[in-house]
Amino acid sequence: MWVKKGIIIIVLLVLNYSLSAQNKPTVAVIGIDTKGIGYDNISMENLIRLELEKANTFEVLDKYDVSNILKINGIATEDCFGKSKLIEVGILLKVDKILTGNIDRFGEKIIFVLRIIDIKNKRIENTNVMEYLDLEREIQTMAKISINNLLGISNDPLLVDLLINYEHLITSPKTTVKLNGPRMGVSYIYGSGAERLKASETEGGFEMYPVTSIFGFQYERQYLSSGDFQALIEFVPALSGLESGNFIPSISLMNGFRFNKKGWEIGLGPIFRGVKYASGFYDENHKWNLADTNTNTSFPIIKQIDHRGKLELSTGLIIALGKTFHSGYLNIPLNIYFVPKKDNNTLGFIFGFNIAKRTVRHD
């Protein structure tokens, strides 16, 4: 009894599937042209055909059936690109629709143009154009998104946002680009000055770690743009030493040079810090001692970092090298920098983010 019921259910399912398949319009994928990508026309047709079958909207004609029918009628696949020719082929194949299109790399974009041709009415039924970021490894996902758009099937918005191409800001002699944003990172200080920062407060030190945090904000203004090259003024106020309970302000003013296409940049300029200095000397045990007007010693009197001293302006040269990564309009700059000094050197890493903004100068 149960065996008979099982057989009946299977037969009904098969019949239902067959009937539903018969109700689907038929489509052939032909004339997919490619330029500048690592897929030839045949490979791209196979990929489009696969994603179209997964959409389960059409009964997709098998590629071997298409090839055989075209061969019998003396038609070469490389000639099947124009609308009139595709309609002629669609009549020979006895399909309802033809899916065609082209996929090209154009600059930093991969552009998908897909069309559905209605064979009965001899017209283009629907067209979808999508501009994607130049991420060829994701080309199958791009094909899926474009086909879904063509068929009116909703896509995952997050997936689309990750792949669609954002227009770059247009720059000209009358255009100024401001790229402002927060900065954060770490720095490593080494040398005799670093020893003073790490020393205990009883010895006039700051009890700081050799690696310290940095928090700041970059104000940036472009003053020259020529093709892929930009010249910038960068102003970065920052604070460091907060994790050690200290407050060390600094201001960097750099002249920067950036190459937009690759995102590389270099900058250099003065850095100003507020540091407490005191006069003193190192004795025969290399111990730091404060000096005053009554000090009588044969050791040289020098100025050194000391929390008991007076706040003074310390100057230096900062040299920075970085690369900016892009995600849509979001820029993510990563930079390393070096501040050389006679008594202590600073090596640091800093990163941040900003949104490109454009203002136009009117003469």
pLDDT digits (tens, 9 = 90+) for 243-266: 887 888 999 999 998 887 777 899
> Can you tell me the distance from the alpha carbon of 6 to that of 22, in angstroms, rounded to the nearest whole number?
24
* CATH code, 17-163: 3.40.50.10070
In the prediction, which pLDDT does 3 show?
56
- The phi-psi region of residue 237 (left if phi > 0; otherwise alpha if psi is between -120 and 50; otherwise beta) is beta
Radius of gyration of the chain measured on its C-alpha atoms = 34
Mean pLDDT, range 122-142, rounded to an integer = 92
- 70-79 per-position pLDDT tens digit: 889 888 877 7
Looking at residue 194, its pLDDT comes to 78
Is residue 140's pLDDT more than 70? yes
**Closest by Cα among 103, 126, 105, 123 to 113:** 103
pLDDT at residue 236 is higher than 70: yes
If pLDDT is split at 50, 70 and 90, which confidence band does 288 have? Answer: confident
Whether residue 361 has pLDDT greater than 60: no
Instruction: Please write the tens of the pLDDT for every residue from 118-131.
Output: 999 999 999 999 99
Mean per-residue pLDDT of the chain? 83
CA 145 – CA 54 distance, rounded (Å) = 12
What is the percent of the chain with per-residue pLDDT over 70, rounded to a whole number? 85
The residue written with tokens 């006039």 in the block is 204
Percent of the chain with pLDDT over 90: 42
Q: Who contacts 291 (Cβ-Cβ below 8 Å, separation ≥6)?
A: 279, 280, 281, 297, 301
| pLDDT tens digits for range 196-216 | 888 888 888 888 888 889 999
pLDDT at position 193 is 74
C-alpha to C-alpha distance for 44 and 29, rounded to whole angstroms: 10
Residue type at 72? I
Is pLDDT above 50 for 360?
Answer: no
**pLDDT class of 178 with cuts at 50, 70, 90:** low
pLDDT tens, 83-117? 888 999 999 999 999 999 999 998 889 999 999 99
Top CATH class of 175-360 equals mainly beta
Residues 290/308, Cβ–Cβ less than 8 Å: yes
pTM above 0.85, yes or no: no
pLDDT for residue 356 is more than 70: no
Average confidence (pLDDT) over 338-361: 78
Confidence category of residue 44, pLDDT binned at 50, 70, 90:
very high
pLDDT-derived band at 21, boundaries 50, 70, 90: very low
Hey, where are the domains in the chain?
17-163, 175-360
